[in-house]
């Protein structure tokens, strides 16, 4: 019944709707969740192996996050951030800056999702150069296979051809670089026109869980310091403990000029994003009204008090539940469990960065799968029969569980993938 209405009226993201609407397809209608588990109306339970598209941190319906949202619901749902302010947004900004202690990041600009967090950084970077007397710095450097969101500005940076190439006529063109090492070869004249470099720290998620070599962020920071370009870290996926530290960039002791946060910011409860920047960037925008230095940018729901309350509760849980401390042995367990899959002739590669893992499948050693056969999707569909909900990126099965997942659930999740691979790609 519900599924039929869905098929009649809804257009799902990143979804081939002909296959979705096929009478044989039974959409999974989720009705509840607790901890790392979600369930449907029939009571079928699934481990949320994809953290509900990389957003969930402390588990579903965590009572502390529910209580924080409920308390704010009784006060006010939303008030404008243009011309007025509110307590949850103020407290969250202070808390986020504290989370970046030791960094030059002191200013918080709120928006709604990962794409807008990146848009904000792009426009701030561009305008800051105009205001600081370098209008020639108009180009953005972005990496092969990058993913920074789907709005036109963020998508312009994207390096995944299948998603973005068709929109090229309306995108701006970044300076596309294969890897940070290639920036070294950039002629000084060209480097002098770069407004900012943008990177997903440690791991490119949407590219299929691709890991950067250690030292990448440090090298990038040095190149930016040398050439004057600003540095944008898109931690929309990697933020909030996903890689083992609160922010991925802590692992290399490097801070950007812009830090983009979204997905896990509210623990996976409400849409909210933040772009953090430095006092140096901020102060370039200060002036008399008629100087028109103002950052003329914003969204209706900037600084939404419900989202900010949820985010404060989520950050509080990192302390009260020792989330990062408890996570470390679970990262090791995940590595051990995945290690047992590595010997399968159907597994080409296993890539893991903290609680972000990808299992790349192959037809046989030395022989890749034909992506058109959607083997990754079929493995994930089969994994549901073993109680695991997750998504592939082509033929890489992603396993990105909530940080609260329990050891037994980690074992069950990896076992479900192993069983699904054995069913979809039989014969060893």
User: Closer to ligand PLP at the Cβ: 210 or 263?
Assistant: 263
Written as one string, the DSSP assignment of 49-104 is TTHHHHT-SS-BT-HHHHHHHHHHHTT-S---SSS---HHHHHHHHHHHHHTTTSS
Span interacting with ligand PLP, options 89-97, 113-121, 161-169, 349-357, rule CB under 6 A: 113-121
User: Closer to ligand PLP at the Cβ: 203 or 418?
Assistant: 203
Q: What residue is closest to ligand PLP based on CB?
A: 114
Phi, psi of 356 (to 5 degrees): -115, 115
- For the chain, the residue count is 428
Span interacting with ligand PLP, options 84-92, 109-117, 312-320, 383-391, rule CB under 6 A: 109-117
User: Closer to ligand PLP at the Cβ: 69 or 273?
Assistant: 273
Please state, in angstroms and rounded to a whole number, the distance separating the CA atoms of residues 345 and 325: 35
CB of 262 to ligand PLP, least distance (A): 5
Please state, in angstroms and rounded to a whole number, the distance separating the CA atoms of residues 348 and 362: 5
232 strand-pairing partners: 198, 258
- Written as six digits, the tokens of 197 are 């470099």
**Phi-psi label, residue 268: left if phi above 0, alpha if psi -120 to 50, beta otherwise:** left
Of 266, 369, 354, give the one whose Cα is nearest residue 58.
Answer: 266
Quote the strand ranges of 224-374, DSSP E.
230-234, 258-261, 273-278, 347-353, 356-361
> Of 50, 72, 86, 115, which one interacts with ligand PLP (CB under 6 A)?
115
CB of 298 to ligand PLP, least distance (A): 17
> Of 147, 233, 240, 355, which one interacts with ligand PLP (CB under 6 A)?
147
User: Closer to ligand PLP at the Cβ: 96 or 207?
Assistant: 207
User: Closer to ligand PLP at the Cβ: 10 or 340?
Assistant: 10
User: Closer to ligand PLP at the Cβ: 301 or 362?
Assistant: 301
CB of 324 to ligand PLP, least distance (A): 20
- Written as six digits, the tokens of 299 are 């969204």
CB of 344 to ligand PLP, least distance (A): 28
CB of 148 to ligand PLP, least distance (A): 5
Distance of CA 307 to the CA centre of its chain: 17
Please state, in angstroms and rounded to a whole number, the distance separating the CA atoms of residues 417 and 49: 10
In the chain, what is the greatest distance between 2 CA atoms, to the nearest angstrom?
Answer: 73
User: Closer to ligand PLP at the Cβ: 234 or 252?
Assistant: 234
Span interacting with ligand PLP, options 38-46, 111-119, 172-180, 221-229, rule CB under 6 A: 111-119
Span interacting with ligand PLP, options 88-96, 108-116, 122-130, 239-247, rule CB under 6 A: 108-116
Q: Judged by CB under 6 A, does residue 114 bind ligand PLP?
A: yes
Question: What does each C-alpha distance from 83 to 79, 111, 274, 286, 423 come to in angstroms?
Answer: 10, 16, 18, 17, 58
DSSP structural state of residue 344: S
347 strand-pairing partners: 361
According to CB under 6 A, which residues from 199 to 238 bind ligand PLP? 200, 205-206, 234, 236-237
CB of 45 to ligand PLP, least distance (A): 26
> Of 33, 149, 158, 244, which one interacts with ligand PLP (CB under 6 A)?
149
Q: Judged by CB under 6 A, does residue 249 bind ligand PLP?
A: no
Q: Judged by CB under 6 A, does residue 413 bind ligand PLP?
A: no
CB of 13 to ligand PLP, least distance (A): 9
CB of 185 to ligand PLP, least distance (A): 26
CB of 270 to ligand PLP, least distance (A): 12
> Of 48, 113, 119, 250, which one interacts with ligand PLP (CB under 6 A)?
113
- Strand 388-389 and strand 45-48: the pairing is parallel
According to CB under 6 A, which residues from 261 to 300 bind ligand PLP? 262-263
CB of 203 to ligand PLP, least distance (A): 9
Burial 168-186, CB ≥16 within 10 A → b, else e:
eeebeebeebeebeebeeb
Burial class (CB in 10 A: 0-12, 13-18, 19+), 152: middle
CB of 415 to ligand PLP, least distance (A): 27
User: Closer to ligand PLP at the Cβ: 140 or 424?
Assistant: 140
- Strand 175-177 and strand 347-353: the pairing is unpaired
- Written as six digits, the tokens of 238 are 């990697």
> Where do contacts with ligand PLP occur on this chain (CB under 6 A)?
113-115, 118, 147-149, 200, 205-206, 234, 236-237, 262-263
């Amino acid at each position: 019944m519900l599924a039929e209405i869905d098929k009649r009226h809804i257009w799902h993201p990143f979804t081939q709707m002909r296959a979705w609407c096929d009478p044989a397809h039974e959409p999974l209608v989720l009705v509840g969740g607790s901890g790392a588990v979600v369930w449907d109306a029939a009571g079928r339970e699934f481990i949320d192996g994809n953290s509900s598209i990389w957003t969930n941190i402390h588990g579903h319906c965590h009572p502390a996050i529910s209580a924080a949202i409920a308390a704010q619901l009784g006060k006010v749902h939303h008030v404008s951030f243009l011309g007025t302010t509110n307590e949850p947004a103020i407290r969250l900004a202070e808390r986020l800056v504290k989370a970046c202690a030791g960094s030059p990041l002191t200013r918080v600009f709120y928006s709604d999702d990962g794409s807008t967090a990146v848009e904000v950084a792009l426009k701030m970077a561009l305008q800051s150069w105009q205001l600081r007397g370098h209008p020639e710095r108009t180009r953005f450097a972005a990496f092969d296979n990058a993913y920074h969101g789907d709005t036109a500005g963020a998508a312009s940076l994207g390096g995944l051809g299948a998603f973005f190439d068709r929109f090229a006529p309306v995108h701006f063109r970044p300076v596309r670089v294969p890897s940070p090492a290639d920036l070294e070869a950039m002629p000084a004249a060209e480097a002098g026109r770069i407004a900012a470099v943008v990177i997903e720290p440690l791991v490119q998620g949407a590219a299929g869980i691709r890991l950067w070599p250690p030292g990448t962020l440090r090298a990038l920071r040095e190149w930016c310091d040398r050439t004057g370009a600003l540095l944008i870290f898109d931690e929309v996926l990697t933020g909030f403990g996903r890689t083992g530290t609160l922010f991925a960039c802590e692992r290399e002791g490097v801070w950007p000029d812009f830090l983009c946060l979204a997905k896990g910011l509210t623990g996976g409860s409400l849409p909210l994003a933040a772009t953090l920047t430095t006092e140096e960037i901020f102060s370039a925008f200060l002036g008399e009204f008629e100087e028109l230095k103002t950052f003329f940018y914003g969204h209706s729901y900037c600084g939404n008090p419900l989202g900010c309350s949820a985010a404060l509760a989520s950050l509080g849980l990192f302390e009260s539940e020792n989330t990062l401390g408890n996570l470390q042995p679970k990262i090791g367990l995940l590595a051990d469990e995945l290690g047992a899959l590595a010997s399968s002739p159907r597994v080409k590669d296993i890539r893991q960065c903290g609680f972000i893992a990808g299992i790349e499948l192959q037809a046989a050693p030395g022989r890749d799968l034909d992506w058109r056969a959607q083997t990754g999707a079929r493995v994930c569909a089969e994994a549901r029969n073993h109680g695991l909900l997750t998504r592939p990126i082509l033929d890489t099965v992603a396993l990105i569980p909530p940080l609260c997942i329990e050891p037994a659930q980690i074992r069950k999740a990896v076992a479900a993938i192993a069983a699904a691979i054995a069913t979809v790609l039989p014969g060893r």
